[in-house]
Amino acid sequence: MRILFWAVLSLLLASCGGQNTDGEPSNDVVSQQSFKWKLVTAWPKNYPGLGTAPENFANRVKAMSNGRLQIKVFGAGQLVPALEVFDAVSQGTAQIGHSGAYYWTGKAKAAAFFTSIPFGLNAQEMNAWLHYGGGLELWRELYEPFNLVPFAGGSTGVQMAGWFNREINSMADIKGLKMRIPGLGGDVITRAGGVSVTMPGGELYTSMQTGVIDATEWVGPYNDLAFGFHQVAKYYYYPGWHEPGSILEFMVNKQALNSLPTDLQAIVETAARAVNQDMLDEYTARNNQALVELVNVHGVEVRKLPDEVIRGLRALSEEVIEELAADNEFAKRVAASVEAFKQQATAYHGISEEAYYRARKLK
């Protein structure tokens, strides 16, 4: 009876694929594992574009994995505050986060390069640099000590310069300006004599309304209309010199990612790539519609920054980046990589993108 029992048990284990020849669980067993993750974001729950991207990501992952990886999304403040997403994922409080890398310059100075660079790469060029120009490898090297694996998590395209309650006619008008503007753009405003402030989006309306800040950049018409900035600011300036191609991020806890079977790891990566492109498509489609409403319905005054101001901000941007590169070896590597890619992209875009835009305007 004992011999018969063990023989039957062996056959059952073999038929279920319980172990491979190395004694490890077989792919058949691993493929049936299920996982539940928490995703924390720096944005309000379901906020247009920024907040819906994590929801889209979670839905795609669930569908592609047939429910084996389910992700619950928490908006800013629901599980952790907006500016604590990095620590929450690094420490394993949540398995994944969605935010902007330039919020974390206090932890890694070079992080700002992986959101946007003043007068730097646009969205198309940022994506190309990350995925085909060595940028993603640098980003992952930067986040490695923090137990995080980053993925590009969406792009807003070229942003607006922001909302102001004072006119900007010269560089002198920036002196003393209290402006919400994070990252390298904030360093430039400070260099120009202003006061840069970093705060989450949910605090901006009240801060503008009460005069805590004189100006704020956020994203562009699609998001700015949703927050109602036209009710608390007088002037809407362009172009977004500080964020010409803002990339957001999915950051994944390294242990959580490595605990997934290889097919689920591939699904996470594929879903991130899909959402990354989808967000840019959404902003491209929605921004001008929202701008028309801001101007025609709400009477917003849209202004272009004077050329003198653009030239001044560009000169200061170059100084800020050069000094950061001189002060931090990793930032130096990233800045060199970005600059080399920008020169390459600019050379070709001169006879492709730029030439086409000019041709399209010809009468």
204-251 pLDDT, tens per residue? Answer: 999 999 999 999 999 999 999 999 999 999 999 999 999 999 999 999
Residue 298's contacts (CB-CB under 8 Å, 6 or more residues apart) are 230
Strands (E), 169-218: 178-180, 195-197, 215-216
Q: Give the model's confidence band at 76: pLDDT under 50 very low, under 70 low, under 90 confident, else very high.
A: very high
Strands (E), 100-234: 148-155, 162-164, 178-180, 195-197, 215-216
Strand order in the sheet with 235-238: 195-197, 178-180, 215-216, 162-164, 235-238, 301-304
pTM: 0.89
What is the reported pLDDT for 11? 42
Least Cα distance to 97 among 109, 111, 82 occurs for 82
What is the reported pLDDT for 24? 41
Chain segment 88-102, per-residue pLDDT in tens? 999 999 999 999 999
Residue 304's contacts (CB-CB under 8 Å, 6 or more residues apart) are 237, 238, 239
Chain segment 122-179, per-residue pLDDT in tens? 999 999 999 999 999 999 999 999 999 999 999 999 999 999 999 999 999 999 999 9
What is the reported pLDDT for 32? 80
Least Cα distance to 298 among 159, 163, 158 occurs for 163
CB 332, CB 325: distance < 8 Å? yes
Element (H, E) at 277: helix 262-296
